[in-house]
Structure 1
Amino acid sequence: MTDIADGVRDHYLANGLTERLKTALSVLGPEDQRLTPEQLASLDQFHTLGLAATAGLAKLAGISADMSVLDVGSGIGGPARFLAATYGCRVTGVDLSKPFVDAARYLTERTGLSGQVTFETGSALELPFDAGRFDVVLLQHVAMNIADRAGLYREIRRVLKPGGRFATFDVVSKEGKPHYPLPWARTPDISFLMTATATREAIEQAGFHMLAFQDDSEAAKAWFSALRSSGAPPSPNLGVVMGPDFAQLSFNLGRNLLEDRLGILTAVFEAASTNS
């Protein structure tokens, strides 16, 4: 597992990321100008369907102002900032990549949300939080990098309050082997895809009851098709985060979805009163 974690960490290494972000964001205004989550959406929503996916998942999970939310695999913090700004809730992000966490803190300062949103470096398999701390846990385009799905979902269950909600938006396997490189794995050795059915079974075995379960593959196909027809991507975009090959990574994800090799799952589960 250490080797796998190191491989994932290397994939998201992103040395010098905060400085690249400062340069890229200069097109939006001076360093002291406050930015909105919407202005950063093309840069910090690191998943299919972009900001719309985060907004839809939050609505499905029933997030409200009085909740404490954990975003596992928070990247550079886009979903966390959007949730705090939209709902007024408190959000904590955790990510394996220290450069991502440093960048997330910088962008959160730029949006004036540091009082509501915090970030920590840590593993999804060993979350640095007490049991029963959170009302909601979000997981967006993260599980594909984790081989120990049972351990992942048990750890999410551990930090949730009884009756708390786990909302996931992830890539699932369908028919045939996917084309690589992909946004979460340039090679197959750090990619651990599961079918939607197997994902549901693993989550339920960790102590959850299903509340919502939907296939968003067709919406994802339409989204990628629209991106291709729109021409050049907005600036700044995720290439700042993932490097000059991100266009190829994204293209391959779209190709895999259009060929039904991969799909997109949106689901919400409720934490049972006891693990059973």
Structure 2
Amino acid sequence: MTQNYSGAVATARDYYNSDDADTFYHRVWGGEDIHVGLYESDDEPIFDASRRTVARMGDLLGEPSADTHILDMGAGYGGSARYLASTFGCRVVALNLSEVENERNREKNRAHHLDKLIEVVDGSFESVPYPDESFDVVWSQDAILHSGNRRQVIREAARLLKPGGIFIFTDPMQTDDCPEGVLEPILARIHLETLGSPAFYREACASEGLKELGFEEHADQLPRHYTRVLRETEAHEDALKGEISDEYIQRMKKGLGHWIEGGRKGYLTWGIFRFRKPD
């Protein structure tokens, strides 16, 4: 079935479906999670730090159970869905726009015997093919930045949550006091036009009736993570020749440098937001 995606979402889909991006994220980022990690040391493997983010978010949910139905918006390779399903026995819908990532996700779910608990759905978080009040938890990690209509994503999260349900997400953001005109080289790495901010997400969620439970800010982890990714890219550069184009690698290294600089200068932030839909 052909999906009709908005401009920014279609751009993200084409990017993540590309052979270069799929090979890079699968090989360099560990193949399970493609989001910012929580590092305990500068040399910690990306996989371990990224998995710590997932575990921390799981802890913040309290006590999920086999009765908990979770939507992962922008699920990538499905690492979070597998963690939630295997740890808590939750049923998870892994919604993601990249068919290439989704096929890897389905293969991994079958290999881990989790395909009965995890449904992988090709689609956009701007128009989720599920009825109102379908989920106890809406979860998203470093994905909403790819939407050209982030308010619509928040609107969908609010619509899909059951009363009392939790919206938990991370997203690379510009700081509330970020100077104008400094983000262009940062945005260019993954073909973005803008970033959200903590103030934006607070306002957008409040406008949909969601009540903030907390924002656990980890601004320092963003440049730390991208520094780690840059080091891994450089360490594997020779081995990746022939698998990933030189142009992609050089553009990635340059782009990562901009994200590191932006984080260190205080232009960017990142952390875990939690909101609740009133009963």
Name the TM-score class by shorter chain.
0.7 to 0.9
SS of corresponding position for 1:92: strand
Q: Deviation at 1:2?
A: 3.0
Deviations 1:155-182 (A, max 9, x none): 1111111000000111111224236366
Q: Once the two structures are aligned, what percentage of the paired residues are identical?
A: 22
Gaps of 5+ in 2: 38-49
Q: Does 1:219 align with 2:221?
A: yes
Q: Return the match for 2:205 from 189, 203, 206.
A: 203
Asked if structure 2 preserves the Cα contact closer than 8 Å seen for 1:57 and 1:169, the reply is no
CA contact (8 A) 1:146 1:192 kept: no
TM-score (norm 1): 0.78
Of residues 160, 178, 182, the one that matches 2:183 is 178
2:110 matched to which residue of 1? 109
Q: How many residues align?
A: 250
Task: Map 1:1-276; keep pairs closer than 5 Å.
Answer: 2-15=6-19, 42-49=30-37, 50-66=50-66, 67-174=68-175, 175-176=178-179, 177-178=182-183, 180=185, 185-187=189-191, 190-225=192-227, 232=235, 244=249, 246-273=252-279
User: CA offset at residue 6 of structure 1?
Assistant: 2.1
Structure 1 residues 259, 202: CA separation in 2 closer, same or farther (over 3 Å shift)?
A: same
For residues 56 and 259 of structure 1, do their structure 2 counterparts lie closer, same or farther at Cα, with a shift above 3 Å needed?
same
Shift of 1:81: 0.9
Q: 1:75 to 1:223 in 2, by over 3 A?
A: closer
Secondary structure in 1 matching 2:125:
coil
The verdict on how the C-alpha distance between 1:167 and 1:63 changes in structure 2, with shifts beyond 3 A counting, is farther
- Looking at structure 2, the residues matched to 104 and 247 of structure 1 have their Cα atoms a distance apart, in angstroms, of 26
Higher mean C-alpha displacement, 7-16 vs 257-266: 7-16
Distance in 1, matches of 2:62 and 2:29, equals 22
1-structure distance, mates of 2:222, 2:80: 18
For normalisation by structure 2, the TM-score amounts to 0.77
Give 1:139 deviation, angstroms. Answer: 1.1
Q: CA deviation at 1:228?
A: 6.2
Shift of 1:208: 0.4
Contact 2:82–2:114 under 8 Å retained in 1? yes
**Cα distance between partner residues in 2 of 1:17 and 1:254:** 20
1:215 is aligned with what amino acid? E
Q: Deviations over 1:110-167 (max 9, x none)?
A: 2221121120011101101121111111111111111222211111111111000000
- Are the aligned partners of 1:17 and 1:99 in contact in 2 as well (CA < 8 Å)? no
Give the letter aligned to residue 198 of structure 1: F
Task: Give the whole-Å Cα distance in 1 for the aligned partners of 2:73 and 2:102.
Answer: 12
Counterpart contact for 1:181–1:248, Cα < 8 Å: no
d(CA) in 1 for partners of 2:7, 2:226: 33
The change in CA–CA distance for 1:91 and 1:166 in structure 2 (over 3 A counts) is: same
Which is further off, 210-219 or 7-16?
Answer: 7-16
